[in-house]
Amino acid sequence: MSLKVVDNSVAAPTHRRNPGFPLDLDWVGRVRMNRSALERRAGTIGARRTVKKDHQLAWLLKAITLIDLTTLNADDTAGRVQRLCAKARHPVRREILAELGMADRRILPGAVCVYHSFVKTAVEALDGTGIPVAAVSTAFPHGLAPVETKLREIEMSVEDGAEEIDIVIERGMVLRGDWQALYDQVRAFRKACGDAHIKTILGTGELATQTNIAKASLVCMLAGADFIKTSTGKEKVNANLVTSLTMIRMIRWFAEETGIEIGYKPAGGIATAGDALKYMALMKEELGTKWLQPHLFRFGASSLLTDIERQLEHGLTGHYAADYRQPLV
């Protein structure tokens, strides 16, 4: 294997957490995105082979370490969350890892992501693994509840053991350009998170323009976001490469201006190994391989792991396993 697979039990030692910055409305006002230029650029991703064929299996193993293994369904149960956590403990069958010469490597997902109600269940089920639990808090997926309710939900998720909190912003604040309100709310969420890392979900499919998405990304980063995340997975339009370009260019600009590196989490509808490789190629080309680590990049995905495991097996044996061999939950 030519690519160093990340051991996600250790955070990158030199990574500085975003402390947050004052709201700079002049900077927000200067942000503009050109949708057709973004579309042209997005069309080139994956058109030429960024990942050489013999490196693909290593990239797929790496992709597993970048997944927030997710279940966010109205009919979730403790049993389903426990099964998902059991899968997180052993994301790839041992014989596949042995065949790849990776049996002794720690290949685990970036986190397990659940509703607040299942944080305790997941924390117990992952005990001893070092895999963090991420909770979607703040009235996921719409974000429309009194701010006191949302702050309390964050606090309760943290009390229950969540180490990462995925909050949702109020899309209306973006649509009416109320950047102060957005900043103040995300700042308060960040404070409520304490040591837990905060991912801000923008709901990009509901923000109307790429410029709105870019401005919302900037305001969330100024307010102290550790990650900016595209979608809840419940909007009509979820993650895509155009929106990703907008957001990761804002991450780049923010890093140039402040020296702080913010993580990126595309989520919703990312279901195939081919999708995963395209997003990884995008990150590599736009931000460098440094951003292909769990503290700077995650996939929010409920079914991606199943396809990656299928593709790993196909890469080794030339044929696909039956579905029952790779049950997720």
Ligand X SMILES: O=C[C@H](O)COP(=O)(O)O
Binding residues vs ligand X (CB under 6 A):
70, 72, 113, 232-233, 267-270, 300-303
**CB distance 292 to 283 below 8 Å:** yes
Minimum distance of ligand X from residue 113's CB (angstroms) = 6
42 vs 113 by CB, closer to ligand X: 113
The first and second tokens of residue 246, run together, are 């907008």
31 vs 226 by CB, closer to ligand X: 226
Q: Which of 265, 275, 278, 307 is catalytic?
A: 265
CA 321 to CA 218: how far, in whole Å? 44
Minimum distance of ligand X from residue 279's CB (angstroms) = 13
Residue 219: left if φ>0, alpha if ψ -120 to 50, beta else—which one? alpha
The first and second tokens of residue 201, run together, are 């979900």
205 vs 268 by CB, closer to ligand X: 268
CA 178 to CA 175: how far, in whole Å? 8
Minimum distance of ligand X from residue 269's CB (angstroms) = 5
Q: Which of 166, 226, 275, 307 is catalytic?
A: 166
57 vs 270 by CB, closer to ligand X: 270
State yes or no: is 53 an active-site residue: no
State yes or no: is 229 an active-site residue: yes
The first and second tokens of residue 265, run together, are 């989490």
**CB distance 176 to 138 below 8 Å:** no
108 vs 114 by CB, closer to ligand X: 114
57 vs 113 by CB, closer to ligand X: 113
CA 213 to CA 231: how far, in whole Å? 11
Minimum distance of ligand X from residue 140's CB (angstroms) = 9
Q: Which of 87, 120, 229, 278 is catalytic?
A: 229
Minimum distance of ligand X from residue 229's CB (angstroms) = 7
CA 203 to CA 185: how far, in whole Å? 16
Sorted by sequence, the CB contacts under 8 Å of residue 279 that are 6+ apart come out as: 241, 244, 266, 270, 299
In the chain, the largest separation of any two C-alpha atoms, in whole Å, equals 56
State yes or no: is 7 an active-site residue: no
**CB distance 304 to 69 below 8 Å:** no
Q: Helix crossing, 56-65 with 304-317: angle to 10°?
A: 150
Q: CA geometry: angle at 267 spanning 147 and 296, to 5°?
A: 90
Minimum distance of ligand X from residue 240's CB (angstroms) = 12
CA 235 to CA 233: how far, in whole Å? 6
Query: Among all residues, which ones are annotated catalytic?
Result: 166, 229, 265
